[in-house]
A and B are shown apart, each in its own frame.
Chain A
Amino acid sequence: MNWVINNLGLIWSLTLDHVALAVPPIILGFIISIPIGWVANRFHASRGVLLTISGLLYTVPSLPLFIALPAILGTGILDPINVVVGLTIYAVALMVRSVADALAAVDAGVRQAATAMGYSAWQRFWRVEFPLAGPVLLAGLRVVSVSTVSLVSIGSVIGVSSLGYLFLNGLQRNIIEEVASGIVATLLIAVVFDLLLVLAGRVLLPWAKADPTAKRAWRKTVETAIAGASAGGSVVDDPAVSDPSMAGR
């Protein structure tokens, strides 16, 4: 414990760096995924293509990507932007499928009712479909959050400061406590992010707690999403499971 107590300042500042690198990709990934997921869900032809591309993106190894990005973006090799962009790509890769699935899961009857009430297409999306997709979107976002927090560490290999430094430095100098503190701090960030997301869900989606169908859809999607993420992003798209045009019948 001595090492930890003597280096609390370092751990804290690395934790802040880690958080600062993890938050933008989660938010950007979410925002960018919405239009892509919408297109994937809206048009039959684009669904398979977009979901396959986004699935493949997740399989790109992170280290080479971080090294290649400066050349592509014209940024400095040590620029944190590289990590943010790289992690945003992974976030999008995971999130596009969630957005497409979440929109496909919105009940066709409710969508028709909204049209019949006189919502314009734009109003219907933002006031009906998007909120109703909320539970599934949140489930996807939780997976993205955990994935991003863990991937930030890789940035340390290319010299961008994060908790990853503690693994690298601890391994080189053979200080087990340092390695362990990096792992624990990363886990804590992931847990805190997850709790914040769940809390946000409670506040923003009060109806989901009352609605048993939404709850069920949510749980199912969390399970699939986690399974998909641990398998390195599922590439295969099964149209029978999530074809929106079939869900409407």
Chain B
Amino acid sequence: MIEFRTVTKKFPDGTVAVDELSLVLPARQTTVLVGSSGSGKTTILRMINRMVEKTSGDIEIDGEDIHALNPVKLRRSIGYVMQNSGLLPHRKVIDNVTTVPVLNGVKKAEAREAALTLLDTVGLDRSLAERYPSQLSGGQQQRVGVARGLAADPNILLMDEPFGAVDPIVRSELQQELIRIQRDLGKTIVFVTHDIDEAFLLGDQVVLLEKGGRIAQQGTPAEILSKPASDFVATFIGADRGRRALRVEVVNGRNVVVDEDGRPTGVLQS
């Protein structure tokens, strides 16, 4: 469990990115932080592994104050996956995946063996292990990024818009892959995105953020959809555009679900 207690982040230029945030991220669940740019979502994420240091307040992981810990050690115990994969271009795929275990002192041969298994986990062919990142497609690079994030078997996985830079088909594949991995591994995942559909798809809990890291609404996707807390939330999730306001029309004796403009989106199974 990760807990934020009245955490504020003020940057040297005076911008208050996060203003007195209190938030609990439950263990072994996926919490999605969603908001537009400037909502402080990435800042919140990066305060968890102290890539960004809070200005005031407390952040605890399983009851332990993270500011009492050595930041380098803390980061090695938390998986991190970022946009554009962030792979080290001068190291082969396999060496990228073994980065954190090797930093932790695991023997190279042992780490490599485990890394090959991880390539299987993220759906990558083992033959790619000896390639350099630039020789892989964007989707493959992102899978390597996920494998690297999981390599030290961390309890917590931070994901900063990890699928933001790949095309929609690959993104959808990667999302399904993540759902499958999460079903098997049960990590505490903190996932940042600006895509509300991605948030609803992946999140057990969704935290919708406004400017300054203020929580506009927090809950399961169903809770947020069924009862948007404000106009801002309704606009953000698309309720006001009728995209989420579905109704049923009977066509050829079947119940067809259509949106407000009458565009069919699916068929009800009964």
Q: Does A73 contact B (CB under 8 A)?
A: no
Output the residue of A112, A118, A119, A123 with the most chain B CB within 10 A.
A118
Q: Are A214 and B89 in contact (CB under 8 A)?
A: yes
Contacts between the two chains (Cβ within 8 Å), count: 70
Given contacts A110-B89, A210-B134, contact A118 B51 (CB under 8 A): no
Write out the residue numbers on chain B whose beta carbons fall within 8 Å of the beta carbon of A117.
75-76, 80, 99-100, 103, 148
Any B CB within 8 A of the CB of A59: no
CB within 8 Å of A: which of B61-111?
72-76, 80, 82-84, 86-91, 99-100, 103
Residues on B with C-beta less than 8 A from A207 are 89-91, 132, 134
Q: Are B88 and A110 neighbours in the complex by a CB distance under 8 Å?
A: yes
* A side interface size, CB within 8 A: 25
Chain A residues packing against B (C-beta within 8 Å): 107, 109-110, 112-120, 123, 128, 131-132, 134, 205, 207-208, 210-214
A176 → B minimal CB distance (Å): 50
B residues 109-160 near A (Cβ < 8 Å) are: 131-132, 134-135, 148, 158
Q: Which residues does chain A contribute within 8 Å of B148, judged by CB atoms?
A: 117
B134 touches A213 (CB 8 A): yes
Chain B residues positioned under 8 Å from A110 (CB to CB): 86-89
Question: CA A214 – CA B131 in complex, angstroms?
Answer: 16
Chain A residues within 8 Å of B83, by CB: 109
Residues of chain A with a CB closer than 8 A to B205's CB: none
Q: How far is the CB of A61 from chain B (nearest CB, A)?
A: 40
| Interface size grouping (class) on chain B | 20 to 34
Q: List 20 A-B contacts (CB under 8 A).
A: A110-B87, A110-B89, A112-B86, A113-B86, A115-B51, A115-B75, A116-B86, A117-B100, A117-B148, A118-B103, A123-B103, A132-B88, A205-B90, A207-B90, A207-B91, A210-B131, A210-B134, A210-B135, A211-B89, A213-B134
> Among the listed A112, A210, A211, A214, which residue makes an inter-chain contact with B82, where contact means beta carbons less than 8 Å apart?
A112
Residue of A nearest to B135 (CB): A210
Q: Min CB distance, A92 to chain B, in Å?
A: 26
Q: Does B31 contact A (CB under 8 A)?
A: no
Q: Would B51 and A120 count as touching, CB distance under 8 A? A: no
Least Cβ distance of A214 to chain B in Å? Answer: 7
